[in-house]
Chain A
């Protein structure tokens, strides 16, 4: 192998793994490669991927956001409650729902940047607070989503699912933010060496606000997509999804110690998780064993990545 192909392979390990996985599954199950199944995989991946794009920002800054699942639920509940129960016009309700996500993110960041709480603790608190608020507002029961918004869960022309489109758009937005904008580049610097970033004139606290606000905003979008698919907002929706999101980011090649990560990698990471679940379903592996397999895959992905990094020295 030439050294350029070697570099490509080592930077796109997750993509290679995804292709290998897909080929293996298409050999094992004739249903896997059907268009309808693949689109189904896309829909399954969408919510995780959107959450994970938001988590990518945070993880690049060497932070962590455990609250995204709860924030997703809170945003969806807010939307459903405001439009269905309170009768607000749906566009306004949607804007408020997105704002709720952003505000949750800002609250996280304020605790982290100004309160000097470790991100793990601040967002763990928000995980409880947002979930609790979702339960309080909904009084514990699902609320129907307004019809107009529920179309987000539909398909275009009967086959192209809108959640997949939303996922791709959010992925592109994340990629542009990370690669082309000031906050994106600042995230890499802060995660790589916060003190060097500060001494280079980057307003670290302000950029953390932006980072967690983005994570909250992305979580709100994910929550709305999820609720639209189910046609109702559920206070317990997306529980535990934060872990899938973090797993997708890490499988995609980001480092929890910060400074590394790409939107495309995260996208591939989310697809790997979805393909794996789908394949295990097709092969009728029990849901209990699926958890084991997915745990092993996460460990393997990170292990392979660390070994690769070490051997490149």
Chain B
């Protein structure tokens, strides 16, 4: 058996209003992939932030090679050989991919940044993660899946002995996950110790060696990674979950959303489909297939060149979010930090954002009414918080995601577009969200769901549309959609090219 490299003993951390960690132990060996498992808010991210120098523990010890160490800053962590990929991205959107990859230690020549060398190094790193990107492209123009791959490449550049990955697969599609796993296996075989956080249970047996389960800030079990999923769920949630995808299909009614011939140069082309009352339509495809672009165009967040969107028979003006909302459209965006949340505002404020107009009478906002509504939906979604006044920035990732969804549940929409709705949400809470989707469709609403989580699209959709390279390449009814049939369509080569 390989030797222990990192050990954590009795770690405690208190934040105002919550005891985030209440005695956590962890033992990490060289050449292993150690999975951290726990519900949203269980303390996983807090734990790893203490290993990376972002937070300092109130109590407890961290030992590296048997020696107690102090990790006070990110610099300390780097010197100790600990690299971290955080759950929320730490990329500078205004800088290019190359600049981000070289951040802090760009190659120099005569005191100036050696741009050529920087781009060469960037290309090597991007190659390693299988990302075909121009290093001169600005980070802000990438979708979140590509940003995630850039983050991974950035961490690889550090050649660390301990590599910590906080939900790296939350936004990736199967093919990128495969690529990531082969990198992880290679590093593991080279003797790197890897901490891996995920809410996708099926990944645990695929990639993990051992699992430490956290519950309410305590480490409650350490089990081998081939432990049955049901048992893992029981350890993590404290109760079993009978049905992961409790979709209750309705009889579809009239077409609520109709998209015909939608196109934008360089992004997507000739996209036509409809979503009917009571339906959940899934939109699957590889990263970069254009799913998010289409969703944003439908909602009016971006413009389009050709085609038409109608809601309940009435055509929508292009690029007009307000008109789209008035017609009953809603969009839960994929990037919660950049597009979904006002991080510095509190939970009540964020939950009330979409309904701010409805809650205003003569310009005055009914704030107590808004608070009541916020309290209700926060309860429904089981947001783990110290109170509605907690700053959203300090919520755990999964709980932030619940807030993004919650603000749209409060609005009275007829068609809700969900872009990666359960990104970073734990298995128990996912079922709650699926139930809410069920109740939306039961009351005659329609849902268009983009998700990179194939079992989820297949399990929750009544119909699955598949996009590849900016075009719709196929449609599968619920009965025929399997991982294989969806993936076969998703990798279709479409005639004519599309700009990257």
Contact = CB atoms under 8 A, between A and B. Distances in A.
A and B pair up: yes
Interface of A: 3, 7, 179-186, 188-189, 192-193, 195-203, 259-260, 312-313
A190 to B, nearest CB: 9
B338 interface: yes
Contacts of A189: 342, 345, 349, 353, 356
B367 A180 contact: yes
Contact of B342 (A7, A193, A201): A193
Contacts of A260: 344
Given A188-B349, A200-B354, A202-B353, A313 B339 contact: no
B407 interface: yes
B293 to A, nearest CB: 14
B61 to A, nearest CB: 21
Nearest to B404: A196
A200 B407 contact: yes
Contacts of A198: 301, 321
Contacts of A185: 349, 352, 356, 365
Contact of B364 (A7, A180, A193): A180
A202 B356 contact: yes
Interface residues of B, number: 30
A181 B363 contact: yes
A196 B365 contact: no
A203 B342 contact: no
B303 to A, nearest CB: 14
A215 B365 CA distance: 21
A118 to B, nearest CB: 14
Nearest first, the 4 closest Cβ-Cβ pairs linking A and B are: A192-B342, A200-B353, A182-B360, A259-B344
A181 B343 contact: no
Given A181-B363, A181-B365, A182-B356, A199 B333 contact: yes
A217 B301 CA distance: 32
Given A199-B301, A259-B345, 6 more contacts: A182-B364, A185-B352, A189-B342, A193-B338, A196-B338, A201-B357
A73 to B, nearest CB: 30
B341 A193 contact: yes
29 contacts: A3-B17, A180-B367, A181-B360, A181-B363, A181-B365, A182-B360, A182-B364, A182-B365, A184-B365, A185-B349, A185-B352, A188-B345, A189-B342, A189-B349, A189-B353, A192-B343, A192-B345, A193-B338, A193-B341, A193-B342, A196-B338, A196-B339, A197-B342, A198-B321, A200-B353, A201-B354, A259-B344, A259-B345, A312-B16
B331 A199 contact: yes
A240 B84 CA distance: 48
B136 interface: no
Q: Could you say which of B321, B342, B343, B356 has the most chain A C-beta atoms within 10 Å of its C-beta?
A: B342
Contacts of A179: 367
Contact of A181 (B17, B322, B349, B364): B364
Contacts of A201: 321-322, 325, 354, 356-357
B356 A193 contact: no
Contacts of B340: 196, 199
B356 A186 contact: yes
B55 interface: yes
A195 B356 contact: no
Nearest to A204: B321
Given A192-B345, A193-B342, A196-B341, A7 B16 contact: yes
B344 to A, nearest CB: 5
Q: Which of B343, B344, B354, B360 has the most CB of A within 10 A?
A: B344
A186 B357 CA distance: 10
Contacts of A195: 338-339
A313 B54 CA distance: 9
Nearest to A6: B16
A145 B166 CA distance: 67
Contacts of A196: 338-342, 353
A35 B16 CA distance: 42
Contacts of A186: 356
Contacts of B338: 193, 195-196
Interface in B407-435: 407
Contacts of B407: 200
Contacts of A188: 342, 345, 349
A173 B179 CA distance: 58
Interface string B306-344: 000000000000000110010000010100001111111
A187 to B, nearest CB: 11
A199 B295 CA distance: 12
A199 B339 contact: yes
Contacts of B345: 188-189, 192, 259
Given A196-B340, A259-B342, A3 B333 contact: no
A185 to B, nearest CB: 6
A186 B55 CA distance: 33
Contacts of B354: 200-201
Nearest to B354: A200
Contacts of A183: 363
Interface in B1-51: 16-17
A9 B315 CA distance: 54
Contacts of A3: 16-17
A5 to B, nearest CB: 13
Contact of B365 (A180, A200, A203): A180
Interface in B373-396: none
A179 B370 CA distance: 13
A199 B330 CA distance: 9
Nearest to A182: B360
A3 B387 CA distance: 15
Contacts of B363: 181-183
Contact of A197 (B299, B322, B353, B367): B353
Contact of A199 (B16, B321, B360, B364): B321
A268 B345 CA distance: 22
Nearest to A259: B344
A202 B325 CA distance: 10
B381 to A, nearest CB: 17
A199 B341 CA distance: 10
Interface centre among A183, A195, A196, A259 (most CB of B within 10 A): A196
Which of B16, B349, B353, B364 has the most chain A CB atoms inside 10 A of its CB? B353
A7 B17 CA distance: 11
Contacts of B364: 180-182
A195 B17 CA distance: 30
A91 to B, nearest CB: 25
A192 B344 contact: yes
